[in-house]
Chain A
Amino acid sequence: MVPLNWYIGLSAVIFVIGMVGFIVRKNILIMLMSIELMLNSVNISLVAFSHYLQDLRGQVFVFFIITVAAAEAAIGLAILVALFKNKAAVHTDEIMEMKG
C-alpha cells in the first residue's frame, strides 16, 4: 500500500510547480495552464484523501472543481480573446498600462 503522504507530497510538488509556472512565465496561456496544474494537484490530493479516508466527499469536490475549472478556462480564454482583438498580446509585458 502506498502511504498517503506520498500522494500529498506529489500533490505538493505539482502544486508548487504550477505556482512557480504562474509566477515566472510571461505567457498568459501558460499562466492559465499553470493554474490548471495547481487545480489538478489539489484534485490529486483530494482523491487521495477521499480514498484513504473512505469518504466520497473529496471526490465530489473534485467533480465540482473540474466543472469550475472548465468554466474558468472558458471565461479566461474569452477575456484573452477580447484582449487579443484590441491588442495582439498574450504576454504580460504588453498589459502593463496600469501600474503604480
Chain B
Amino acid sequence: MNIPFPDLRPVTPEIIMTLSATALLILELIFKNKGVLAFIGILAAAAVMYIMPASMGETFGGMFISDSYSIFFKFIFIINLILTILISLRYIQRQKAEYGEYYSLLLFATAGMMLMASAKDLIILYLGLELMALSTYILAGIKRHDVKSNEAAIKYFLLGGFSSALLLYGISLLYGMTTTTDIYKIAEHLKATGVTTTLLLSMILIAVAFLFKIAAAPFHMWAPDVYEGAPTSITAFMSVGPKAAGFAVIGRVFYTAFQNIQTDWTTILIGIAILTMAVGNILAIVQTNIKRMLAYSSIAHAGYILLGIIAGTTEGLNAMMTYLFIYAFMNIGAFAIVIILDRGEELSDYEGLAKNRPLVAALMLVFMFSLTGIPPTAGFIAKFNLFTAVIKAGYTWLVIIAVMFSAISAYYYLRVVMNMYMKEMKQEAAIHLSPSLSLAILITVLMVLIIGIMPSMVIG
C-alpha cells in the first residue's frame, strides 16, 4: 500500500506555529532575556499570518481543510496571540512566572485552536481541542506559587476533562451511527438515515462540550473562577481564543454534520443563548472583582454571539465572526488596562482613576463603552451587524431580549466608569507601563475606534 506524501501547503501555518513553539522550548535554554522569546513568538505569529491567505486547500485525506472560514478564525487566534504576548511581557515578570515555556505554550494553544478551526475530521477536532485545552490548563496554573492560580487550573482542568469526556461519548455514538468521523461524510450519511433519538443524544453531548468551551450557561460555571484565578494575561487569552475556537467548531460541526436536525439544535441554542445572556449580565452586576466581572461579561457576550449561530444563515455566521474579531480587541484592551495598573483587580481600585491617571481612565472608558455597545465604538458595530443578521433570519423577538440584556449590561460597565470618574480617589494608582503594553493598548484602542467610525474596514 502506497500512500502519497500529503500536501503540506494547507497546514503550513500550523507547522510554523508548532515548530516555533518547539523552537522556543529549546531557545529558552539559550536566552536569559525572555523578551527575545516573546519577540520570536510574535515573529512566528506574524509569519503565520503572512502565510495564511496562501494556504487554501484540503490535505491529509480530507481531514484538514483550510478555507476562508477557518482562515478568518485563525486571524482572530493570531491577533489574540500577538496581543497576549504584548501584554504579557512585563506582566509575567511581575507575577514571577516568567518561564520560557509560557510563550511556547501560548503558541501551542494557538496551534490547537487553528487545528480546531480547520478540522474536518472529528479526531482532528478532538486532538486540536485537547492541544489547546491542555496548554491553557497549564497556562492558567502557571503562577504555581499562587493558590488562586492553582485553584483556577484545577477547576479548569477537571471540568475541562469532564466536558471532553462528554464530547467523546457523543462522538462515539455518532461514529456508531455512521461508521465515519469525517464531518462532511457524517452529514451525507445522516441525510440518508434521517433523525433518530441517538443522533439527538450525540448532538446534545457534543453541543454541551462546545458550549462548555465558549462558557455558555449552564456550562459556564468554571469561567468566573478560572478567569479570576488565572494570570490576567492568560485570562485575556482565554476569554478570546478558546471562545472563538469553540464558536469555530460549533459553526462547522452544527452547520454541516447536524444539518438535518437544525431545528432541534437551533431550539436548544435559543434557550441556551437566552440563559447565557441572562446569567452573564445579571451575575456581572454584583461582582466586585473586575476580572470576575469581565468573566461574566464574556459569558454574556457568548450569549450574543450564539445568536449568530442561531440565525442559521451565512450572514449570521459572518456576523458572529465579525463580532469575535471585534470582541478580541475590546476585551483584550480592557484586560490590558487591568494589567497596566499595579493594583487593578478590584473594582474599588479604580476609584478616582480619572483624576490620577486620566489617560488610562479614558482608555478604559472607551473599552467599557465598546463592550456595552455604544457608538461610535467597535462594540456597537459588532452588535449592530449581529442583530441585523439575526433579525433578517426572523428572530426579532430574540434580538429584543438581547438588546434588553445589553441595556442591563450597561449598568456594570458603567460602574467601572463611575468608579473612575465620579468617585474620590483613595490612593494614587501606580502603573506599570512598558513599550509592548503601550503598543497593545494602542492597537486595541485604535481598532476599537476605527472600526467604530469606519466599519467598512472589517465588513467589506
Contacts and interface: CB of A to CB of B under 8 A. Distances in A.
B173 A45 contact: yes
Given A57-B180, A71-B134, A75-B138, A46 B150 contact: no
A14 to B, nearest CB: 11
Interface in B182-218: none
Contacts of B155: 95
Interface stretch (B160-168, B248-256, B270-278): B160-168
A77 B286 CA distance: 35
Size class of B's contact patch? 35 or more
A49 B176 contact: yes
Interface in B85-144: 123, 126-127, 130, 134, 137-138, 141, 144
Contacts, number: 123
A42 interface: yes
Contact of B169 (A15, A31, A76): A15
Interface centre among B138, B146, B175 (most CB of A within 10 A): B175
A98 B158 contact: no
B179 A79 contact: no
B12 interface: no
Contacts of A60: 123
B12 to A, nearest CB: 23
Given A39-B168, A42-B172, A61-B175, 16 more contacts: A18-B165, A32-B158, A38-B169, A68-B127, A75-B134, A75-B157, A78-B138, A79-B138, A79-B141, A82-B141, A82-B150, A83-B147, A86-B144, A97-B148, A98-B228, A98-B229
Contact of A39 (B146, B165, B228): B165
B127 A49 contact: no
A35 B158 contact: yes
A78 B134 CA distance: 12
B28 interface: no
B123 A72 contact: no
Interface centre among B138, B141, B161, B179 (most CB of A within 10 A): B161
B165 A35 contact: yes
Contacts of A75: 134, 137-138, 157
B13 to A, nearest CB: 22
Contacts of B287: 100
27 contacts: A15-B169, A18-B165, A31-B158, A35-B158, A41-B169, A42-B172, A53-B179, A55-B180, A61-B171, A61-B181, A71-B130, A71-B134, A75-B157, A79-B150, A79-B153, A82-B153, A83-B147, A83-B154, A85-B144, A86-B150, A97-B148, A97-B229, A98-B151, A98-B228, A98-B229, A98-B292, A100-B292
A28 interface: yes
B368 interface: no
Given A72-B134, A79-B141, A98-B228, A45 B157 contact: no
Contact of B154 (A35, A41, A55, A95): A95
Given A64-B126, A79-B153, A98-B225, A86 B145 contact: yes
Given A15-B169, A22-B162, A49-B176, A86 B134 contact: no
B154 A80 contact: yes
Contacts of A46: 172, 175
Contacts of B333: none
A8 B172 CA distance: 10
A36 to B, nearest CB: 9
The 3 A-B residue pairs whose C-beta atoms are closest, nearest first, are A38-B165, A83-B150, A49-B176
A81 to B, nearest CB: 9
A45 B179 CA distance: 13
Nearest to A95: B151
Interface in A41-100: 41-42, 45-46, 49, 53, 55, 57-58, 60-61, 64-65, 68, 71-72, 75-76, 78-80, 82-83, 85-87, 95, 97-100
Contacts of A58: 172, 175
Interface centre among A58, A80, A87, A98 (most CB of B within 10 A): A98
A58 B179 CA distance: 8
A92 B421 CA distance: 40
Nearest to B161: A35
B224 interface: yes
A76 B161 contact: yes
Contacts of A18: 165
B179 A86 contact: no
Contacts of A68: 126-127, 130
A31 B179 CA distance: 32
A86 B123 contact: no
A23 to B, nearest CB: 9
B286 to A, nearest CB: 8
Interface in B341-361: none
Contacts of B168: 38-39, 42, 65
Contacts of A61: 123, 171-172, 175, 181
A97 B151 contact: yes
Nearest to A99: B225
Contacts of B145: 86
Interface centre among B141, B146, B165 (most CB of A within 10 A): B165
Contacts of B292: 98, 100
